[in-house]
Structure formats: structure tokens, C-alpha cells
Amino acid sequence: MPKKRKHLSRVFYHGVRLILGVIFIYASYDKILHPKAFAEVVYNYQILPDGLINVTAIVLPWLEMLMGIFLIMGFWMPGTVIWCNTLLVVYIGALCFNLARGLDVNCGCFSTTKGSTISIETILWDVAFLALSVYLLFFVFFKRTSGNKRSV
């Protein structure tokens, strides 16, 4: 691969890593501050059993926060990108499921306040984030195992 392309590829990788990291930290911030409100959002999705709602509302924002920090630091990238992709797939699945059911509920994507209901736009944004996340997965698991001795 020509030197310039390799350089651009690394720059793009770092850029995507930082963008997704900031997004996850931003998404987790309000949920960490308002766990009760986030628990109501989780309840309204009508997917989890009642016994898991509060635990999810307590743990999930911290998982997002850790993912965001680790993405920015470039720390534990294999595990971080796996969680990144997993959570985004789960979120998109939950959004599609509830949109199909016609549930008019608060998305809870970036905030626990009312007003941000589920919509096609919400799903498209998450799909875009997933595309970036899949790119990171590819880079971490395949490009870095191709014998490139330079650090990323």
C-alpha cells in the first residue's frame, strides 16, 4: 500500500476513533446524571423484563462512558470495538422493533428528557455510527493483524 494511503488510513482511523469516543461520552453523560429518568426510558421500550430495568439503567451508561474514554485513549481497542458494535446493533434493533410496533416513546439516545421520540432519523444516525464502528472493527482486527509493525 502506498505510503500516502497508509498515512490517510491511519488518520481516518484516529479521527473515527475520536468522533465515536466523544459521541459515546456525550450519550452517557445525561443518563449517568439521571438514572431514574433513564430507567423510565428503558421501561418504555417494553423489551426487558421488569427485574432488569433498573440494573440496565445503572450499568449501561457507565459502559458507554468507558467505551467513549477507551476509544479516545485507544485503549483495549479489540474489546472496545466489539462492545461498540454490539451496543449499536442492539440499539438499532430496539429502535426498529419499537418503531414497527408503533410505540411512541422517548428514544433516550442522548438524553433522558422528553421530546426526542423514536424516528427513522434516529435509526439512520445510529446506522451511520455503526458504519464507523464497523470500520474500526475492520481496522483493529484485520489491518493490524496484517503484519504492520507500526503502532496505531
Partner 1 sequence: MFIQFQEKASKTLGQHFLQSVWQCAAMFTLAVFLGISINQFRVSRLPLIEDWSMEALLKSPSGDRLDISLVEAKNLFFQKAAIMIDARPNDDYEKGHIRGARSLPWHEVDQRFMEVTKDISVNTPIITYCDGKTCRLSHDLANFILDMGFTNVKILVNGWTKWQNADLPVDKNGSN
Phi, psi of 106 (to 5 degrees): -65, 130
Distance of CA 31 to the CA centre of its chain: 14
Where helices occur in the chain by DSSP H, the ranges are 3-33, 35-44, 50-73, 77-101, 120-141
Shortest CB 151 distance to partner 1, Å: 5
Q: Is 97 in the site for partner 1 (CB under 8 A)?
A: no
Q: Is 43 in the site for partner 1 (CB under 8 A)?
A: yes
- How far apart, in Å, are the Cα atoms of 152 and each of 4, 19, 83, 99? 15, 16, 19, 39
Q: Is 119 in the site for partner 1 (CB under 8 A)?
A: no
Nearer to partner 1, 3 or 151 (CB): 151
DSSP letter for 39, please: H
Q: Which of 8, 22, 73, 127 binds partner 1 (CB under 8 A)?
A: 73
Q: Is 143 in the site for partner 1 (CB under 8 A)?
A: no
Q: Is 4 in the site for partner 1 (CB under 8 A)?
A: no
- In 3D, which of 90, 95, 36 has the Cα closest to residue 63? 90
Q: Which of 4, 5, 36, 100 binds partner 1 (CB under 8 A)?
A: 36
Which residues contact partner 1 (rule: CB under 8 A)?
35-36, 39-40, 43-44, 46, 50-51, 53-55, 57-63, 65-67, 70, 72-83, 103-105, 114-115, 117, 140-142, 144-145, 147-149, 151-152
